[in-house]
Amino acid sequence: MKSKSQKYPVAAVPKVSARFINFFAAYSRWYLGGHFHSIRILKSGLPPRDLSRPLVIYLNHASWWDPLVCLQLSKSYFRSRTAFAPIDAAALRRYGFFNWLGFYPVEPRSTRGARSFLKTSRAILASEHNMIWLTPQGRFSDVRERPVRLQRGIGVLASQIKEAVFVPLVIEYAFWTEPRPEVLLSFGEATTPKDELTRSAREWTEFFGDSLGATQDKLAAGSCRRDPAEWIVLDRGASGVTAMYDAWRRLRSWITGVEYIREHQPENAQWSFGPPQ
């Protein structure tokens, strides 16, 4: 007879290269900085402080940039953890270096792929020092799409690994006042299955979808307000308009003695187009 610890088959935890992760994180930060004005997180949407259990971050899949942003978040808030993420097996074969970054292969839309995902995820979450990043929508989805529908794998995971902490994360890419967009972030409320009502895998999937949608609504409201006081700037990227125009502004600043401000519109300024009020 199998004991509880032997209820499910045990898989090997994927190997990661800390040196390569650090190198790729530095590259990603530089690359993001060249394409975005800033990375901001809502002060009311910071990750939970007490995370002494295995951790699952489940997030919306807004764009191609998501993995790079998650890597920066991992460096900002989860340095003591080893991060992993499932990825389509075909994509992993195409980008083999992802193996060094903690990605592990899954075969979408197949029973064998689902079993492999659960088997590897259980092995990872056996340690409180590990975490998994999931995009359970399974496809790129607009941040305004409602209701938020998730694939059932996350619900099965929650029904099997009740000790893990599940935390929603929302990413939105928005243009504010600069030529380059902002990366906007917010975590939602953490949930530990063992501390909650008993739910089926399907009920957990629906619960997490609702939670992710509520967090998206919260972030969207903050984005609309555009109040700098509500945000923490995790990193600043490129500012300004064009190289030629910025060079002229620098020269004019040097001639006139007026301070040069690289941003198109300094925070809290109230510039706008339109007729006078």
Per-residue pLDDT of the chain (277 residues; tens, 9 = 90+): 444 445 655 578 988 999 999 999 999 999 999 999 999 999 999 998 877 899 999 999 999 999 999 999 999 999 999 999 999 998 888 888 888 999 999 888 888 888 999 999 999 999 999 999 999 999 999 999 999 999 999 999 999 999 999 999 999 999 999 999 999 999 999 999 999 888 999 999 999 999 999 999 999 999 999 999 999 999 998 765 444 545 545 556 656 666 645 554 555 544 444 444 4
- Which pLDDT value is given to residue 70? 96
CA pair distance 167, 81, nearest whole angstrom: 15
- Which pLDDT value is given to residue 51? 74
- The pTM of this model reads 0.83
- Which pLDDT value is given to residue 257? 63
- Which pLDDT value is given to residue 66? 97
- Which pLDDT value is given to residue 152? 93
CA pair distance 269, 168, nearest whole angstrom: 33
Structure tokens at 83: 């991060």
Residue 226, by phi and psi: left (phi above 0), alpha (psi -120 to 50) or beta?
Answer: left
CA pair distance 116, 121, nearest whole angstrom: 8
- Which pLDDT value is given to residue 260? 44
- Which pLDDT value is given to residue 99? 87
- Sorted by where each starts, the structural domains of the chain and their CATH numbers stand as 9-233 (3.40.1130.10)
The residues that bridge with 182 in the sheet, in sequence order, are 38, 174
